[in-house]
Amino acid sequence: MDVTVEDVTQVWPGRRGVDVVALDRFSHRFASRRFSCLLGPSGCGKSTLVQIVGGIETASSGRVRITDPAHREMVRPLGADSVMVWQNLNLFPWRSVLDNVAFGLEMQGISKTERHERSRTLLASVGLRGFEGHLPGQLSGGMRQRVALARALILERPIMLMDEPFGALDAQTKIVMQEELLRVFDETKKTIIFVTHAIEEAILLGDEVIVMTARPGRIKEVLPVDLPRPRSLEMVNSKAFGSLFDRAFHLIREEVMTSMAQQTMALETR
């Protein structure tokens, strides 16, 4: 599915009657079956954008069109073809791993036998065979993240929206989850929009890196990532990877400095 964002602006009510412009006329076509990474400083509207695409938030102006490339005249409702994966996971602590993964199917009225069978198969594919009866609190951070990924994948929606899903993981676990996501993408070819602060992560995962400005969030530059797939961490040491990293770093550095200045100013005017 294609995700076409057209002149989307998002304005939030601010303190003392001063509105905050989170996104300013953001336009981009996230192509079907491609992995797009949004890279930008804190507060630039990355998370706001994916929530608008997912139908969780309503844009102040502009529009988002979800279309099948084979039937571009048919515009789908926001959220009907997408699933969100959050940093905080939102797993139900009182439900077993199996029932957490099966939750979406349960809401669709799928029988217990079928949803458990499908959940077991998916859990095995992400390396969690034998943990079906555990509660989330009994798992490591990386294992909980795998449960959240399986819960999203089981819905079989063509668009996956990921808001810094690996941001809270330790370095080693993050590497494992990045490899897992690369495997999933190679197998499913979903349309993925992935929010991150990490340059290396954006280049390793993405087909393109959309570098955003400090608030209000606009597109500063779109970097195509022409590294071959399947990807591996060995690519990080390649000349091509290094060139992309240097370009992205120089683009983002100025925006991070601007964002820090904005935060300082906000504190001083309280």
pLDDT per residue as tens digits for the range 47-91: 999 999 999 999 999 999 999 988 878 889 999 999 999 877 789
Shortest CA distance to 96 belongs to which of 114, 119, 127? Answer: 119
Residue 236 has pLDDT above 70, yes or no: yes
Predicted confidence (pLDDT) per residue in 223-235, tens digit: 999 999 999 888 9
Helix H or strand E encompassing 105: helix 103-107
Q: What percent of the chain clears pLDDT 70, i.e. is strictly above it?
A: 97
Determine contact, residues 59/9, Cβ cutoff 8 Å.
yes
Which domains does the chain possess?
2-81+157-268 (3.40.50.300)
- Contact (CB, 8 A) for 6 and 30: no
Structure tokens at 123: 């859990």
Q: What is the per-residue pLDDT for 250?
A: 93
Cβ atoms of residues 198 and 252 within 8 Å: no
Q: What is the pLDDT of residue 43?
A: 85
pTM, entire model? 0.92
Q: Is the pLDDT of residue 7 over 90?
A: yes
Percent pLDDT > 90 in the chain is: 72
